[in-house]
Amino acid sequence: MIERDGRYRIQVVAEMTGIPAPTLRAWERRYGVPVPTRTAAAYRLYSDQDVAMVRRLRDLCAGGVSIAEAAKQVRSTEVEGPFVEPESFDAFEAAQARIVGAVLAFDPELVEREVSRAIYLGSAVTVFERVLGPVMRQVGDLWHEGTVSVAQEHIASGVVGNVVRGLARLVQPAAPSRRVVLGCVEDEEHVLGLYGVAIRLASWGIRSVELGARTPPEAVADAVARIAPDGVGLSMTMAPDPARGARMMAAYAEACAGVPWFVGGPGVGPVAEVVRSLGGLVIDGDLAETRARLEQALAAKPARG
């Protein structure tokens, strides 16, 4: 049997599991799991059994189970066997868990604090790709499954989006070798991936000018004429209707007026062949994996002095 005597304070459990202390208190208050013992001074003390239950809740939620259903499953299943020490600590995964936990707890201030903590874990590229990007994918999945509300998703999007925009501005190279214009296609409102691309390009010495969400072909044409960029990048998170997508890509190809252009994002699949047929580059995987092809495409214009 696992030792049931309380031995860990709440902050220790938070570090062991990656679940913030406010979230642990909220789970106890709302769902009755776990229920730690209390000291004479009313401090919570968690047993090995309690820690195992928290980890089980964490894993179920990460797998898409609602916290209410996860708590019901954990309460009905006795966690037995020898206590296993925490797996090797991954600071990035722990940061993800703390931010998602704060979103699940519906605590905007805690979301801001945890996101602010995360930006000190590494470079802008590392923080985006190892923490903030995965967090928003998790939150998006939880929203689609009904685990988090629209309000919770908007809180996360607002906080994370503001931080990622700030990072993208801060890391822009002072003496770039090339410059690209970035925008979301005209039906696309999700800009997080766009700023993630800007951060990655900046690490390669490429400066970005972001046009933001819902950028129509006319805006791209105007930017190409006035800025004379070395390339144009378009973000597409949601897959369009194939026929409409083909018309859009034709309009963007014309707007680029011979400037190298590329399209990426989870929604690019239905228009990938059209983009290629129009001379564009499709980024259908990790941007870093297509760096050579992208830089080769941008090299179609002379590098800036």
> Using one digit for the tens of pLDDT, what is the confidence trace for 169-199?
999 999 998 999 999 999 899 999 999 999 9
Containing H/E element for 246? helix 242-256
Within 13 A of 4's CA, how many CA atoms are on the CB side? 6
At 24, the amino acid letter reads L
Q: Kindly state the tokens that stand for 117.
A: 């903590």
pLDDT at 87: 47
The CA distance from 147 to 139, in Å, is 9
The mean predicted confidence, pLDDT, of the chain is 87
Q: Are the C-beta atoms of residues 54 and 13 closer than 8 Å to each other?
A: yes
Element (H, E) at 261: strand 261-264
Greatest distance between any 2 Cα atoms in the chain: 74
Tens digit of pLDDT for each residue in 97-147? 889 989 998 999 999 999 998 888 888 999 999 999 999 999 998 998 898
Length of the chain: 305
pLDDT category at 305 given cuts 50, 70, 90 is very low
Q: Which amino acid is at 305?
A: G
What residues form DSSP beta bridges with 261? 232
